[in-house]
Chains A and B, each alone.
Chain A
């Protein structure tokens, strides 16, 4: 049987719709199920049930207050904010030079930055451990801020360099003709237009620092200095053999929702920032 053009269109539309629905369900289901679990207690937890049954908030109290995930949230915010702030500050001038000035060794520097951003973290683990001990930062948030620069800084430089390349030369020309120094060009001409790029880069770097696990697990021992990923990974229940799934899911939902809200607000920019480095690089 030969289908008319219209019928063909309808068939393909049905397929597209079905595939989209499947993709959306698969993407969202694990988080949905985590939320359901976090609201259940007792025996209810262990019956797979795909609709909300109960609304108990006890798990959130257990996780955030009793297990100290609330404190860890604060630690994570501090570590990620300071890391990203410092890295952005340093990389603005660096990225400007790499994007707008031609000089000897430029390609070499860009290549090095790219290589460092692809470093396996474990390769610097023991050297970083020694450095952290030497600086007296072991078991403190400072250790994390220092070590996170290993992957945050190359990332912010790389992305900011890509953004700065796309700023039209006319702006800079006008400033040069007016006799502006490089410093004035960076702070007065580039900084204001770079606002959105800084937000995007900062947000992506923030997520990277927020999610980091290996350094956080290795350089911090005490419970009160843990960041969120470590706190969730090491969350223990009353007995050693039974994991408190309700509390773990409550903690997971708590640390995930703010990030998801941020990502949804800045959706367009994040997608732009993620792909900027790759498609044009």
Chain B
């Protein structure tokens, strides 16, 4: 089930069920005409706040506009993206920091979404068991989800503090490390600090999505498998996983899209340091910190293309996996 074609339950079912055959066609026709009237405000607003700004961003990416005077600009063609002059390459695509941010973002997305999937699945399976205190777990996991990202970033930068942080303190007490680690300042560690904070915050979302899917798996299937002597792993692999696959793919798409545009967590936790800067952070830096509206727009367009590309790949996978699900 891919999000492009949600099942149209209920949609359009209505006119066919209206008994009078005389008024049927005209009712359907009238309704579809009013439909456009009803969605018009939405479409106009969306065009104004999303479509138009996107078009203007693309437009500015071909200019040399500066942020404090966006009206004075010259067209520079593709120079903001890539340009060769005197044997040197200029533009976003020639900037090593841009490529660094691309690597950071992809690494962050891959590692944190994979960790979230594994931990979220474990948590969902746990919450799907019947035990005393189940309600407490379900309530507690909403806490990280409800906490604003900026607050998460601040809480973790305090816990990851190299001198006074609890994480170093706990690790020292347990004996896992001999000396405090500089989680935020050390380039090799700072990305892990970001990933851990993100995983903490977003595992609940993943777990809730997967739990909702788990609860729709009919329990008699497990009974039957148990009678046939299937092990716990076989039951999970052969019954649970195929049945929750569609929901899992949707949750994965949501999380991946979210992780690819990460900005706030990194901006606050590691102050956008080069070791952790994301593509969104890079684009905003060009635009706001360096006032280069043209270059920043070019980077924004690249971010957009990258996210759209990943989304397209996911939709492809979703479409390919759909027929197989229907067969089983």
A interface residue numbers (CB < 8 A to B): 13, 16-17, 19-20, 23-24, 26-28, 30-31, 33-34, 37, 45-48, 50, 90-91, 93-94, 96-104, 106-107, 109-116, 118-131, 133, 146-147, 149-150, 153-154, 157, 165-167, 169, 172-173, 176-177, 182, 207, 210-211, 213-214, 217-218, 228-230, 232-233, 245, 248-249, 252, 255-256, 259-260, 262-264, 267, 270-271, 274-275, 278-281
Contacts and interface: CB of A to CB of B under 8 A. Distances in A.
A270 B209 CA distance: 12
Contacts of B53: 124-128, 130-131, 150
B143 A101 contact: no
B169 interface: yes
Nearest to A254: B151
A31 B136 contact: no
A100 to B, nearest CB: 7
Q: Which 10 A-B pairs have the closest CB atoms?
A: A127-B53, A102-B12, A127-B56, A94-B42, A120-B261, A103-B32, A275-B212, A97-B38, A213-B264, A124-B53
B247 interface: yes
Contact of B154 (A123, A169, A232): A232
B232 to A, nearest CB: 10
Nearest to B163: A46
A125 B38 contact: no
B39 A94 contact: yes
A270 B1 CA distance: 23
Interface in B28-74: 28, 31-32, 34-36, 38-39, 41-43, 45-46, 49-50, 52-57, 59-60, 67, 70
Contacts of A33: 155, 158-159, 166
Contacts of B15: 102
Contacts of B158: 33-34, 37, 245, 248-249
B283 interface: yes
Interface in B142-158: 142-156, 158
Nearest to B134: A20
B182 interface: no
Contacts of B123: 23
Contact of B129 (A16, A45, A106): A16
Nearest to B28: A102
Given A19-B126, A103-B32, A211 B150 contact: yes
A203 B20 CA distance: 41
Contact of A106 (B35, B284, B300, B303): B35
B142 A270 contact: yes
B39 A124 contact: no
Interface of B: 1, 3-15, 17-18, 27-28, 31-32, 34-36, 38-39, 41-43, 45-46, 49-50, 52-57, 59-60, 67, 70, 122-123, 126, 129, 131, 133-134, 136-156, 158-159, 163-166, 169, 200, 204-205, 208-209, 212-213, 216, 247, 250-251, 254, 257, 260-261, 263-264, 267-268, 279-280, 283-284, 287-288, 293, 296-297, 300-301, 303-304, 307, 311
A46 B136 contact: no
A208 to B, nearest CB: 10
B56 A126 contact: yes
Nearest to B244: A279
B42 A153 contact: yes
13 contacts: A23-B126, A27-B140, A27-B144, A28-B143, A33-B158, A101-B31, A116-B50, A118-B311, A131-B56, A173-B18, A232-B150, A233-B268, A263-B145
A147 B49 contact: yes
B154 A274 contact: no
A104 B31 CA distance: 12
Contacts of B150: 211, 213, 228-230, 232-233
Contacts of A125: 53, 57, 283-284, 287, 296, 300
Given A17-B133, A281-B3, A256 B146 contact: yes
B6 A280 contact: yes
A115 B312 CA distance: 11
Contacts of B134: 20
Contacts of B254: 118, 278
Given A102-B12, A123-B57, A154-B46, A229 B303 contact: no
A21 to B, nearest CB: 8
Given A274-B205, A274-B209, A127 B143 contact: no
Contact of B142 (A129, A133, A218, A263): A263
A113 B164 contact: no
Contacts of B42: 90-91, 93-94, 113, 153, 157
A34 B5 CA distance: 44
B200 A280 contact: no
A281 B204 CA distance: 20
A153 to B, nearest CB: 6
A281 B6 contact: yes
A274 B254 CA distance: 12
A115 to B, nearest CB: 8
Contacts of A154: 46, 50
Contacts of B138: 267, 271
Given A20-B126, A23-B137, A120 B45 contact: no
Nearest to B12: A102
Contacts of B1: 281
B7 to A, nearest CB: 7
A213 B263 contact: yes
